[in-house]
Amino acid sequence: MASSQYKGVVAQPNGRWGAQIYEKNHRVWLGTFTEQVDAAKAYDIAAQRFRGGDAVINFSPLTDTAEMVFLNSHSKPEIVDMLQKHTYDDEFQQNQRAMTSHLTNPSSFLNGRPIDHQPPVQLLMFEKVLTPSDVGKLNRLVIPKQYAEKHFLLKPLLSAGDNTAPASSSKGTLLNMKDSSGKAWRFRYSYRYSSQSYVLTKGWSRFVKDKNLNAGDAVGFYQSGTGLDRKLYIDWKTGNFQGAEITRNGDDQYFPYPYPLLPDVPIPNRPVQVMRLFGVNIFKTTN
């Protein structure tokens, strides 16, 4: 097997090239590439995010201030995820277009100075109370079908070379969201034919751990804008909340409107009775 002349690049049995970096003696896989130059560039990007100015890289260090800001504004796992999916360049360019659009918009300036805008109105799409399987080892969140097909458009993909039978699950798409603190999250959204369900997978388990979510807690999904300007948001609250009547449908529990999760929105103060059935908390409001 051929060896590579580039740091952080290893040959693969199929003739492609892999990129990897070590963090605290643990290997971090950065993806597989057709050309070893592309693998070397991926290593350089990761090295500069992981090690900053001390990074030993293959090519010249980044000199574009905008790209350095973009690189350092994302966590290490987020940068690794972009490199593995080969979306780093696209996401950087998308970020630049968004910044350019903001800076060149005359309404963004007052006497030559940028002015602050009110944040976009975030409208509730739907909420869900988390089940044990949503926060368990399956590392996925089931999106109720009626909400998935209404708010998250997805065309399931067919398996390679098969024009009749669907694959066990679609490759799906990436959904970019922000939480109420402004932190960015990226989830893999797909349809699983085996269970006939819409799910959030990659990125979900990290969200669960970050927010310390448990069965009985709730997550809410919001949007602002429409079309190309549409932005998605996610928020959460713990299971000791008040004010929501919950209906059950199999393993899933849902909040009806209008009980938004975002902060500073009043929620009716009505007492809640909690009953545990088959290991799941069932909440019922009383008058």
**Which residue shows structure tokens 């059935």?**
277
Question: What are the backbone dihedrals phi and psi of residue 180, each rounded to the nearest 5 degrees, phi first?
Answer: -70, -15
Domains of the chain, earliest start first: 9-104 (3.30.730.10), 123-285 (2.40.330.10)
Q: What is the pLDDT of residues 195-238, one digit of tens each?
A: 888 999 889 999 999 888 988 888 889 888 777 778 889 988 87
Question: What are the backbone dihedrals phi and psi of residue 162, each rounded to the nearest 5 degrees, phi first?
Answer: -125, 110
Structure confidence at residue 64 (pLDDT): 77
Structure confidence at residue 121 (pLDDT): 66
Q: For the ranges 134-138, 186-190, 222-226, which has the lowest average pLDDT?
A: 222-226
Strands 173-178 and 231-237 come out as: parallel
Q: What is the pLDDT of residues 248-279, one digit of tens each?
A: 333 434 333 333 444 444 444 444 454 555 55
Q: What is the pLDDT of residues 150-186, one digit of tens each?
A: 888 765 443 334 343 343 345 678 888 888 778 889 9
Residue 171 vs residues 21, 25, 192, 211, 268: alpha-carbon distances, Å: 26, 32, 9, 26, 41
Please list, in sequence order, all residues whose beta carbon lies within 8 angstroms of the beta carbon of residue 115, skipping any fewer than 6 positions away: 108, 109
Q: How many CA atoms lie within 13 A of 218 on its CB side?
A: 26
Structure confidence at residue 238 (pLDDT): 77
For range 97-115, the mean pLDDT: 49
Highest mean pLDDT among 11-15, 73-77, 102-106, 123-127: 11-15
Q: What is the pLDDT of residues 29-54, one digit of tens each?
A: 999 999 999 999 999 999 999 998 88
222 neighbors 232 (Cβ within 8 angstroms): yes
One-letter amino acid for residue 165 of the chain: A
Structure confidence at residue 160 (pLDDT): 37
Partners of 202 in the beta sheet?
none
Q: How far apart are CA 142 and CA 128, in angstroms?
A: 9
Q: What is the pLDDT of residues 107-117, one digit of tens each?
A: 433 344 444 44
Q: How many CA atoms lie within 13 A of 143 on its CB side?
A: 24
The total of other beta-carbon atoms located within 10 Å of residue 1's CB is 7
30 neighbors 57 (Cβ within 8 angstroms): no
Structure confidence at residue 275 (pLDDT): 53
pLDDT interval class at 68 (50, 70, 90) = confident
Structure confidence at residue 99 (pLDDT): 63
Is this structure's pTM higher than 0.85?
A: no
